[in-house]
Structure 1
Amino acid sequence: MSELEKLINLAKNAAEKIRKYRFVRIVSHNDADGLTSAGIMAQALLRAGIRFQLSIAGRLDETVIEEVNRSISQGELVIFCDMGSGQPELIGKVAADVVVLDHHKPVGQSPAKAVVNAHLVGIDGATDISASGTCYLVARELAAENVDLAGLAIAGAVGDRQLFRTANAFILEEALKTGVVSVRKGLKVGDGDLADVLTYSTEPFLDITGYPEKVKEFLNHLELSGNIENLSEEEASRLVNAVALKLVRQASPEAIEAVIGEVLLLNRELVKNVYDFISILNACGKHKVYGLALSLCLKSQGVADEALSLTKEHDKKLALDIRENVEKIRKGESIWYITTIEALSTGSLASTVVRYLHPELPFICINESEGILKISARGTRELVSQGLDLAFALREAAGAVGGGGGGHSVASGAAIPIGSAEEFLSIADRIIGDQLRKARKGNQNKNKNKK
């Protein structure tokens, strides 16, 4: 049996369990992957005639468990999406049956009735399937008609910057075959006016991003104008080549690969361009307007314009916020880092730096917000192949200063008490340095043995 078949069997088992309940409490994460996961499960339960209550959380902690326990009775079910694999002790405190649909590395033994997680069958959840993909596999086992939810799964995977191989490749193939998704070649960005898109998109983050005059000059030089989706093949090719030349100077190879190629179009969603779709979800997540994001995932007519307008404003502020913050980056021994107060999006800032400015070392952003220090750390697949494991580093470093953390080897988060930033950075820097040195030493020994 292949790894994918094993994963589908886990999904089948979870679907069988879910069918037995009359009421389900869904809790999902607040980023694009978590919001699409919630959208998929909400649609699937609606269609199955199962009543549910849904809430979105920035992270799984005691407060979330207390809130869930207040709104649940024994004999009902709680489904955690895009969270729950790393905190078996919290799952154990839920006063009802639990199903975990996640793609983060599992820690310990889960007390959940069913866990669907790619890591359990040897598929890498950090790169090969998102939480929304995991939820989709469960939804399609609940009913064959749920294949039309594949577009949401694809959006979640793109939002988490995943690769379309193994499980994701299977979902994409199904989506293309059924016409749920189609493809257009070009620059992997949202639709709209070329100048606006290049000025305020942080993917890709170029030397002209955030500078309207520089963008105007760049486009004049290329003799390009109008909307990006209306460019001819030749014009699109001219734009792609010019952007590639800019990226080649500094960006990581995976960033170049991520922004040039095939634009996925979600034919069953209210917003077709996948990059516009995930920008909206990320903006809704940051502004905590989860209802708007979920309305979009549930295809409520009339919300797309409001969502796009919020997103344009958010993206503009985000591009300028990142542009301002990159000036304040500092270097440790084995990391780049920054400390900020109320940054607009630490995840976007961290991803931008490691993909487009300093791909040679991982990046850690510490942001003071809501009375704690919230941390986003990002690496590259190249660094992970050299031994980097940010989930381990952040869990250890945050735990040592009285906080908690975890996630993926390539992207991780944490929360720590105010006043502990310096100690946290020192521990994380040392752990990451040890990881990278150990791998390099191993490679040197291998090379010696070959000789």
Structure 2
Amino acid sequence: MKMSLHQRIKKASDVILNEKYVRIISHYDADGIAAAGIMCSALFRKKIGFCVSFVKSLGSKTIDRVKNEKNALVLFLDMGSGQIDDIEDIKSTVIILDHHAQFRESKIIQVNPHFFGINGTDEACASTLSFLLAKSVDEKNSDLVGLCVAGVVGDKQIPFKSLNKEIVEEGIKNGFIKKEKGLSLGLEPFFREGFNPTGDKRFDDSMIIMKLLKQNVKYDVIEKFFGIYYISEYETDALPFSDVLNACGRTDNEGLGF
């Protein structure tokens, strides 16, 4: 009988919980950094050791290095499904969390949404899968959903659909994420008005709307100036946070982002 996504996740978490150390290889973009951050936070809380490397692509050089390290458990994040033939030669136990189009199933524990009828292009990414795995390790890791959302946004999987949408809605329900509407585009010419940064943003937004209406700007145009913000419990907006993670990866500062 074919496993469901959550059964595959549970199998992976059972393997992790039986180890004292996990070797992690992750992609260097915002999704890969966020996925690693989620997973390593979960491991740290369980006092499981880890070592993380970020790479631009999973080539033979990286795979050979991992082979020679003789790790008990290796976890690939945001990569691996396309290199399954080479990865199968690794003697260690291997887990792959990847959302890119799969090539085939294998003896390796491979968590890929495409196997379960979920589109890995816009419905689930590595951060999505890492968050589900972290929750399976311990339900208390539900508070890491803010990192998950940053990874999803960084992977350009917006608007949220399917699995991503379920996770975001659950995060809002549990109070780990706040969904707010606010100004998302600059206005030119600028209005010479002050505002209270710690005050009621609804008042500031209403003031802007009223000024635009007085200038005969149509309401459907005004709506385009406003967008949805997803704020984590650390008061961090997912979009600029994902941009920071992406910038860290693109400038060879993955460790800083992590």
Question: What is the TM-score with the length of structure 1 in the denominator?
Answer: 0.50
How far off its partner does 1:226 sit? 7.0
Contact 1:180 1:266 in 2 (8 A): yes
Q: 2:240 aligns with which of 266, 276, 280?
A: 276
Is it true that 1:87 corresponds to 2:53 in the alignment? no
Q: Using a 3 Å threshold, how does the CA distance of structure 1 residues 57 and 245 change in structure 2: closer, same or farther? A: same
C-alpha offsets along residues 274-324 of structure 1, whole Å, 9 cap, x if unaligned? 122111101111111122111xxxxxxxxxxxxxxxxxxxxxxxxxxxxxx
Q: Find runs of 4+ consecutive structure 1 residues off by over 4 angstroms.
A: 222-231, 235-239
Taking the aligned partners of 2:86 and 2:198, their CA distance within structure 1 comes to 46
Superposition pairs for residues 378-397 of structure 1, below 5 Å? none
Superposition pairs for residues 305-344 of structure 1, below 5 Å? none
Q: 1:161 aligns with which of 150, 153, 156?
A: 156
Is it true that 1:121 corresponds to 2:116 in the alignment? yes
Is it true that 1:234 corresponds to 2:206 in the alignment? yes
Is it true that 1:261 corresponds to 2:227 in the alignment? yes
Q: Give secondary structure in 2 for the equivalent of 1:262.
A: strand
How far off its partner does 1:229 sit? 8.7
Q: 2:42 aligns with which of 38, 41, 44?
A: 44
How far off its partner does 1:79 sit? 0.3
Q: 2:70 aligns with which of 69, 72, 82?
A: 72
Q: For residue 175 of structure 1, what is the aligned residue in structure 2?
A: 171
Taking the aligned partners of 1:143 and 1:181, their CA distance within structure 2 comes to 19
Taking the aligned partners of 1:227 and 1:92, their CA distance within structure 2 comes to 58
Taking the aligned partners of 1:88 and 1:224, their CA distance within structure 2 comes to 58
How far off its partner does 1:21 sit? 1.8
Contact 1:188 1:275 in 2 (8 A): no
Higher relative contact order (CA 8 A, sep 6+): 2
How far off its partner does 1:78 sit? 0.4
Contact 1:61 1:90 in 2 (8 A): no
Superposition pairs for residues 149-228 of structure 1, below 5 Å? 149-162=144-157, 163-188=159-184, 198=186, 218-220=188-190
How far off its partner does 1:9 sit? 2.0
Taking the aligned partners of 1:77 and 1:278, their CA distance within structure 2 comes to 29
Taking the aligned partners of 2:193 and 2:81, their CA distance within structure 1 comes to 48
| Paired residue type of 2:229 | V
Taking the aligned partners of 1:165 and 1:66, their CA distance within structure 2 comes to 37
Taking the aligned partners of 1:228 and 1:167, their CA distance within structure 2 comes to 34
Q: Using a 3 Å threshold, how does the CA distance of structure 1 residues 177 and 97 change in structure 2: closer, same or farther? A: same
C-alpha offsets along residues 133-157 of structure 1, whole Å, 9 cap, x if unaligned? 1011011010011001111111111
Contact 2:177 2:232 in 1 (8 A): yes
Contact 1:80 1:101 in 2 (8 A): yes
Q: For residue 21 of structure 2, what is the aligned residue in structure 1?
A: 23
Q: For residue 252 of structure 2, what is the aligned residue in structure 1?
A: 288
Q: Give secondary structure in 1 for the equivalent of 2:257.
A: helix
| Paired residue type of 2:160 | F
Q: Using a 3 Å threshold, how does the CA distance of structure 1 residues 150 and 188 change in structure 2: closer, same or farther? A: farther
| Paired residue type of 2:231 | L
Compute the RMSD of aligned alpha carbons: 2.8
Taking the aligned partners of 1:260 and 1:101, their CA distance within structure 2 comes to 35
C-alpha offsets along residues 405-438 of structure 1, whole Å, 9 cap, x if unaligned? xxxxxxxxxxxxxxxxxxxxxxxxxxxxxxxxxx
| Paired residue type of 1:293 | G
Q: Give secondary structure in 2 for the equivalent of 1:183.
A: strand
Q: Using a 3 Å threshold, how does the CA distance of structure 1 residues 116 and 235 change in structure 2: closer, same or farther? A: farther
Question: More deviation in 97-106 or 160-169?
Answer: 160-169
Contact 1:86 1:107 in 2 (8 A): yes
What is the total number of aligned residue pairs between the two structures? 247
Q: Give secondary structure in 1 for the equivalent of 2:82.
A: coil
Superposition pairs for residues 409-424 of structure 1, below 5 Å? none
Contact 1:88 1:111 in 2 (8 A): no
Q: For residue 351 of structure 1, what is the aligned residue in structure 2?
A: none
